Structure 1
Amino acid sequence: MTFLSGLSAFPITPMDRDGKIDTAAFSKLIARLAAAKVDSIGVLGSTGAYMYLSREERRRALALALEETGGRIPVVAGVGALRTDDAVRLAQDAKALGATAGLLSAVSYAPLTEDEVFQHFTTVARESNLSIVIYDNPGTTHFRFTPALVSRLAKVSGIVAIKNPTENSDEIRGHLVEQRGTAPNNFSIGYSGDWNCAEAMICGADTWYSVLAGIMPDVCLRIVRAAQAGDIAEARRLDAALTPIWSLFKQFSSLRSVYVLADLLGLCQAEPPLPILPLSEAAKRKVADCLSLLRYDPAEVR
């Protein structure tokens, strides 16, 4: 079995306007994911607003997650930063606290070259001794990992997995075959972009890195287990039922949408960090209508 597999759930990080974590709300979210028995939990990813939190608050969030899981579930922590030395320190924090791995993106202000990204990743892996997951997220970093760069990084000691973006579900199988052909056998290959990830798991991806699973883990787990069991029809049926959610994610972004879902489901009341604005009242009604359409009962969640 690869290092990371199955469903990796990425919750929001509820915080106040000063960037202080709502520890009770965050712990409740993590406890729900642990109770659902997701395969891993990703804290401080893009959904977890890692770039909007101080080093101290990142440590606090990770410590809370590790306390709630009690070592029963792998916890992957975002360690991305603009500067390599800052990313090293964040990864060292994650290692010291007991994270299973660090999720590292190619964050930059000035555009980076492939050699610069390679050096950044190898330095963080070497100096932290933390297992590193490559986070390819061009939508926010504006850097795209080429097959050649992924192949180079996958052979670096300590770099153990990749979280790929998805754009077209028809291209996933070919992309997965190509990436497997150049990576070590134990290198975990996973995907994000929830609306395409059922197909990714059907194609044989190791991991679904999921935004929705951070709020609604049960239905996502059913999709993953069906795909893992080879029940393609059931995985696609369950995924098709979530089409209204995927439409919301595409229209309003998954980040903004899940804050509303968390509120509607009675999990927590929080807003994304400024300058990201919460959804309008009209948009919130669309999210509520979507839940009603799915017959998702908030009472069952609480």
Structure 2
Amino acid sequence: MTANIGSRTAPGGILGFPVAPMDRDGRLDVNAFEHNVRFLVTEGLEAIFVACGSGEFHALSPQDYRSMVETALSVAGGKVPVYTGVGGNISQALELARISAELGAEGYLILPPYLIDAEQEGLYRYLSAIIGSTDLNAVVYQRDNCVLTLHTLERLLALPQLVGLKDGLGNMDLNIELTQTIGGRLSWLNGMPMAEVTMPAYVNLGFKAYSSAISNYIPHISRLFYNALLSGDEALLGELYRHVILPINAIRRQRKGYAVALIKAGMQIVGHPVGTEVRPPLIPVEEEHYRKLELIIKEAFERFPKPAAAPKEGSARI
């Protein structure tokens, strides 16, 4: 599932954001990362975004970053597009954009600038410098200290590399203004924490793509949810919310940083070899919360068994 932006194609559907497994020395466990990416590709996710928030972008070494991009591209093998995370200070962002282009990524997600709470003109200069630095597709991540007005986003539209905006802010007044003014010129991605919670409010605004954290361990639930949403199956949506989505989200909200740590915990529960350690300042999931997640995942498989081949009806509808 994709959106055509002129001659460019933007990612659509359910987007996979793999984690960054660690070895005993705190470096990237390449084998475990490869397993994570292969699982997402095999499960039919429409695009892979590496070294972003779930991939602990904040703490990766340059060597680990390059390894993640190389590995993801090798595993994906052109079956699905691979996007990278770039951001932080402008020098770092431009260097990571260059590496992404060098290695052959399809595009990158631009994360907020380091620390600075900037004026709109400053955000425009930051984003336009990164977007214009390569010919790769660019998606801007709207969140934290990178919140664009309509005027600023319209200025950035002069750059054909800009194909999408991912919203992690949740300001629906602003989302309506942006989507209804700009329309199909951009692909709109829901990037809220555990985006399944808010996706019903987003889909009617034109947000046809979303990042699914739970797809790292229960991707059939992500697909079941999205197909039910697109087909208007309110009964199934209600069951998924009551028994899986809202209970997991309740745990995620217990501690700062669980948006990342809880993914690794879920992956370990279902048998993926990624471990539960996260890089500081994040903290791993506490034992009580881990056990609660175990029970939710167990119930998810019992109530909603994984089919032999997960259908992708949602892809055909957009």
Q: Write out aligned runs for 1:98-247 (5 A).
A: 98-138=104-144, 142-167=145-170, 171=172, 175-183=174-182, 185-193=184-192, 194=195, 195-201=197-203, 203-229=205-231, 231=233, 234-235=236-237, 237-241=239-243, 242-247=245-250
How far, CA to CA, are the matches of 2:141 and 2:120 in structure 1?
A: 14
Instruction: Tell me what 1:67 maps to.
Output: 74
Q: Say which of 81, 85, 94 aligns to 2:88.
A: 81
Calculate percent identity across the aligned residue pairs: 22
Amino acid at match of 2:94: V
Which letter maps to 1:215?
A: Y
How far apart are residue 155 of structure 1 and its match?
3.6
Which residue in the other structure is 2:265 paired with? 260
The correspondence for 2:21, drawn from 6, 10, 14, is 14
Distance of aligned partners of 1:203 and 1:115 in 2 relative to their CA distance in 1, 3 Å threshold: closer
Does the C-alpha gap of structure 1 residues 152 and 229 become closer, same or farther in structure 2, counting only changes over 3 Å? Answer: farther
SS in 1 for 2:159: coil
Question: What is the aligned partner in structure 2 of residue 250 from structure 1?
Answer: 253
| Alpha-carbon separation, structure 2, partners of 1:227 and 1:49 | 30
Distance 1:154 1:189 in 2: 14
Q: Is the 8 A contact 2:142 2:169 kept in 1?
A: no
Q: 1:175–1:117: structure 2 CA closer, same or farther, 3 Å change rule?
A: closer
Contact 2:41–2:76 (8 Å) recurs in 1: yes
Q: Is the 8 A contact 2:87 2:114 kept in 1?
A: no
User: Quick one: structure 1 residues 156 and 19, their matched pair in 2 at CA, closer, same or farther if it must change by over 3 Å?
Assistant: farther
> Residue 183 of structure 1: SS of its match in structure 2?
helix
TM-score, structure 2 normalization = 0.83
* 1:196 alignment partner AA: T
Matched, 1:42 2:45: no
Q: After TM superposition, give the deviation of residue 35 of structure 1 in Å.
A: 0.7
- What do residues 223-276 of structure 1 show as CA deviations (whole Å, max 9, x unaligned)? 223334455554454344422112122223321211211111110224111232
SS in 1 for 2:261: helix
Gaps of 5+ in 2: 5-9, 308-318
Q: Given the superposition, is the C-alpha separation of residues 235 and 73 from structure 1 closer, same or farther in structure 2, using an over 3 Å criterion?
A: farther
Q: Aligned equivalents of 1:98 and 1:74: distance in 2? A: 10
Measure the CA separation in 2 of the matches of 1:89 and 1:203.
34
State the alpha-carbon separation in 1 of the partners of residues 65 and 80 from structure 2.
19
Q: What SS does the corresponding residue of 1:206 show, helix, strand or coil?
A: strand
Aligned residue identity for 1:267: H
Deviations 1:183-241, CA, capped at 9 Å, x for gaps: 26231011122221244235531211222223322211222233344555544543444
Letter in 1 for 2:199: C
- For structure 1, list consecutive stretches of 5 or more residues without a partner in the other structure: none
Contact 1:248 1:254 in 2 (8 A): no
Residues 1:96 and 2:102 aligned together: yes
Aligned residue for 2:211, secondary structure, equals strand
